[in-house]
Amino acid sequence: MLPIIYLSTFCVGLPTNLLALWILMFRTKRRPSTTLLINLTVIDCLLFLVLPFRIVYHFRGNHWELGEPLCRIVMAMLYGNMYSSVWSLAFVAVDRYVAVVYPFGAKSLRSRRWSRGLTATVWVVMPAAMLPLLLSRQTYPLDDPNITTCHDALPESVQENYFLPYFATLFTTCFLLPFIIVMFCHSAILRTLLAEGRKYCHAIRVTVLMILVFVVSLLPCNVLLILTYSDSWPDGEDLYVPYMMSLATSTFNSCFHPYIFYFVSRDFRERTRSALCCLHDMEDKPSSQGTHTSSSAGQSHCFSTLV
C-alpha cells in the first residue's frame, strides 16, 4: 500500500499544484496573501521531487540502493516539507485573521515586507527541521531480509537519545503551536463575521478545510511518530506499519492546498474559473460557421480575462 499511496499523491498533487503555481504567479495580482500561497506551493512541489525515490524504495521491498547521502536528503525533504507547510498554513491563517478582524490596520500592516517576513520565517523553519536528519546516519543493512533500509531501521540508542527528542521538539513547535494558531485565527474570523451579520459560509469552508488538513492528514502521523520513537504504546504493540501508513497519507495534505487556495483567494477563484472556461470552450468543436464564430469570440473573451 505504501508505494500506491505515494504514487497517488504524486499523480494528483503534482498537476494540481503546478496549475495553482501557474495561476498564482502569472494570472493573479501580487498581494501579501498571494505571496504566501506561492511559497506554500513551491514547498509542495519540492516534496513531489523526492516522492519518486520513496515510491521506488517501497516497490523494491524497502531496499535502498541509492547511497547514504541521497537517503538523508529524501527523508529531510519529506519531514521538512511537512513542518514548513504546517507553518505556511498557519501564516495564511494569520494573514486572513489580520485582513478580516483588523481591516483598517491591515492596509498598513499587510505589505510586501509583511509577506516576505512570513515567507522568510518558513524558510528558516525548513532547514532547521531538516538539519538533524541531514547530519545523522539513515541507512542500515539488515541480514534477514537482506536489504538496506532508509530511516526504517535505527539502533535503539540512536532512536531514544537522538530522534525522540528531535521529533518531540518538532511536534511541539512545528505542529501543535501552528495548529493552535490556525484554530485561534479561524475562530476569531468566524466570530467577527457573525458579529457584523455578514455571510460566513465561505469562511466556514476555509476553516473546515484547514481543520481537515491538520486532523485527518497530519495529526495521526505526528502522534504515531512520537509513540513509535518513545515505545510507549501499551502491550508492546508494534506501531511500525500504522506509522508508515500515516506518514504516507500525510503527504496528501499537499494535494489539499490548491483547494484551500480556491477558497482563500478571490483572484485565484476567478482566474481558475476563467482558465477552466477557456479549456471548455476550446474542447467544444462547432458544427457550423456561425457557431465557430461564436465559439471563437467566447475563447477570445476568456483569454482576455486572464491577462
Distances (CA, A) of 72 to 55, 80, 113, 135, 136: 16, 12, 34, 8, 8
CB crowding 73-84: b at 16 or more within 10 Å, else e: bbbbbbbbbbbb
Record the cell numbers describing residue 151, joined without a space: 530511516
Q: What is the pLDDT of residue 265?
A: 63
Q: What is the pLDDT of residue 207?
A: 75
Q: With CA atoms as reference, report the closest residue to 47 among 260, 259, 247.
A: 247
Distances (CA, A) of 152 to 35, 62, 168, 208, 240: 36, 8, 18, 34, 9
Please give the Cα distance from 59 to 135 (Å, whole number): 27
Q: With CA atoms as reference, report the closest residue to 74 among 20, 152, 172.
A: 152
Whether the link from the prior residue into 127 is cis, omega within 30° of 0, is: no
Residue ranges in 196-218 assigned as alpha helix (H): 201-212
Contact 101, 154 (CB under 8 A): no
* Residues in Cβ contact with 198 at an 8 Å cutoff, skipping those fewer than 6 apart: none
Q: What is the pLDDT of residue 7?
A: 93
Q: What is the mean pLDDT of each run of 10 residues along the chain (307 residues)?
A: 91 89 80 84 91 92 91 92 90 86 75 86 89 90 87 80 87 91 88 74 74 83 84 63 88 83 66 62 48 41 32
Q: What is the pLDDT of residue 307?
A: 29
Contact 262, 272 (CB under 8 A): yes
- A 10 A CB-CB count for 232 gives 10
Please give the Cα distance from 111 to 77 (Å, whole number): 30
Beta bridge partners of 150: 139
Q: What is the largest CA-CA distance in the chain?
A: 77
- Residue 132 identity (one-letter amino acid): P
Please give the Cα distance from 162 to 122 (Å, whole number): 24
Please give the Cα distance from 57 to 67 (Å, whole number): 12
Contact 3, 58 (CB under 8 A): yes
Please give the Cα distance from 88 to 181 (Å, whole number): 11
H/E stretch holding 188 reads helix 177-195
Task: Please name each of the domains of the chain with its CATH number.
Answer: 2-264 (1.20.1070.10), 271-307 (no CATH)
